[in-house]
Amino acid sequence: MTRLALLSVSDKTGLVAFARQLVETFDFSIISSGGTAEALKAAGIPVTKVSDYTGSPEILGGRVKTLHPRIHGGILARRDVPQDLTDLETNQIQPIDLVVVNLYPFEQTIAQPGMSLADAVEQIDIGGPAMLRASAKNFAHVTVLCNPAQYDEYLTELRRGDGQVSFEFRRACALAGFSHTAKYDAAIATYLAAQSATREPIAAESGSEHPASIFITGRLLQPLRYGENPHQPAAWYQTGESPTGWAEATKLQGKELSYNNLVDLEAARRIVAEFDDAPGAPAAAVIIKHTNPCGVALGNTLLEAYTKAYEADSTSAFGGIVALNRPIDVETAAALTQTFLECVVAPGCDAAAAEILAAKSKVRVLTLLDLHAGPAQAVRAIAGGLLVQASDDRPIDISQWKVATEKAPTDDQWAELRFAWTVCKHVKSNAIVVTNQRTTLGIGAGQMNRVGSVKLALEQAGDRARGAILASDGFFPFDDSVRQAAAAGIVAIAQPGGSLRDAESIQAANELGLAMIFTGVRHFLH
């Protein structure tokens, strides 16, 4: 008796050549359904339609094709269990040795603009996952292939094993099958949760606005040399079926990206995405060290913006990560080569600029067309669980800000306060940012008390603090920071407000002639 293979695929890449090898070289008989059967028949490959094999027609517009005992009995039968073999013989079922299935393109479908819920539901595969799971469960006797990339390896196994495949190969294929269905189901559950007007019952009963379950899946994009430190193994996984975000970036040159590179690049992307990249808007440049900005600036040209950001803290910029909101031009490329940098990312890079950057061949230069597209949620692992929060990407609305002092900011100071506040939300708490002329002058980050952060930022700014703006990611619990800022020459302050001692800070600002606004929003970054 020839061996039996079941082929039912949505992605028909390599299908005909693979099926021809099965039939002509390894003496398989093929059963198939729907479009797969038609494709094989058109190529002249002998194939039995599933409906003919089972004796049951496809019904419900194709919703039911392979859900039949002759299919699942042939897949699930254990060849070393006598009763299973008796059941096969009694019901005239032939064992199925190979199952080749990939699923309806659900994720690609829902990614299309204007896709309706009804159309999306029709791309939820039922028979495919059932066959994948059944064959993966019975990997001791059945091989399951869910990706065209596995075809050549399977044929190689057959040649190497004189027509047989190893247990280890079948087990690896089973793992791939279960991973595929898990990811597929997670995508469906996530989509339906987003579409639903009501919460899941468990979440509703608990009074939570969050879903009762979350699903995080990804496929290995590439192993990384190591994580934050050499003794920590690390890898980069892509979420979603199609590359997005950093997986969609183009690396023009440089060494392989490291774990720390990617973490810093994401921090830089989040800041530069705050600034408008429409024609006529200022150019923006961000320099990152260890996820904190060390220089951020706006300019009339990209070169001006980068130069101002670099000069804000040239010492820290050494070995930094640079993000730009304009394509890299020749002038900016020449400036970028004047110091050691780890990575540079921009929405594009002129050909002549790329030639200049090539002189620094180890610098990783990336282009990412959409620097604004970021994750909607932030997820952090803790012992025994996950913490999930909405990303802090609320647009800054200065119309909601309130002047807390007798003195109001000038028009230019309003613009400067907004710039300082924008940068401040991306600095590790306790965060203090001093700016002037849309350029950071001093940054106090990650200190255990706000007074320490104020001191660091003002010391870094030095004499440049005179006439500058100061932003604080959290409120001032005492008036000492206001007085310290005024003594350094700060003229206006942005802070959330909300302290029990706000009145003391306001009084100090009034005494010292400072303008102070309350944003009403806190931006802690832990």
Would you give per-residue pLDDT tens digits along the chain (526 residues)?
Answer: 678 999 988 888 898 999 999 998 988 999 988 788 889 999 999 988 888 887 777 777 667 667 788 888 888 888 888 888 888 888 888 899 999 998 767 677 677 777 777 777 777 777 788 889 999 999 999 999 999 999 999 999 999 888 888 999 999 999 989 888 888 888 777 777 777 644 444 444 445 567 777 778 788 899 999 999 999 999 999 887 778 899 999 999 999 999 999 999 999 999 999 998 888 899 999 999 999 999 999 999 999 999 999 999 999 999 999 999 999 999 999 999 999 999 999 999 999 999 999 999 999 999 999 999 888 889 999 999 989 888 998 889 999 999 999 999 999 999 999 999 999 999 999 999 999 999 999 999 999 999 999 999 999 999 999 999 999 999 999 999 999 999 999 999 999 999 999 999 999 999 999 999 999 999 999 9
Domain 243-367, CATH class in plain words: alpha beta
Q: Do 123 and 105 contact (CB within 8 A), yes or no?
A: yes
Angle 489-491-496 from CA coordinates, rounded to 5°: 120
Residue by residue, what is the 3-state secondary structure of 123-185? CCCCHHHHHHHHHHHCCCCCEEECCHHHHHHHHHHHHHCCCCCCHHHHHHHHHHHHHHHHHHH
- pLDDT, residue 206, reads 47
Nearest to 434 by CA among 470, 459, 467: 470
- pLDDT, residue 208, reads 57
Q: Do 499 and 507 contact (CB within 8 A), yes or no?
A: no
Catalytic residue numbers, as ranges:
137, 290
**Is this structure's pTM higher than 0.75?**
yes
Please give the single-letter amino acid code of residue 149.
A
Angle 497-501-504 from CA coordinates, rounded to 5°: 100
Neighbours of 111 (CB within 10 A): 13
Q: Do 284 and 302 contact (CB within 8 A), yes or no?
A: no
Give ranges for CATH 3.40.50.1380 in the chain.
3-194
* The CATH classification of domain 3-194, taken from the options 3.40.50.10490, 2.60.40.10, 3.40.50.1380, 1.10.30.50: 3.40.50.1380
Give ranges for CATH 3.40.140.20 in the chain.
243-367, 398-518
- pLDDT, residue 200, reads 47
Conformational region of residue 53, where left means phi above 0, alpha means psi within -120 to 50, and beta covers everything else? alpha
- pLDDT, residue 197, reads 45
Q: Please count the residues of the chain.
A: 526
Nearest to 315 by CA among 129, 503, 443: 443
Domain 398-518 has CATH 1.20.1260.10: no
Hey, what are 383's tokens?
A: 């012992």
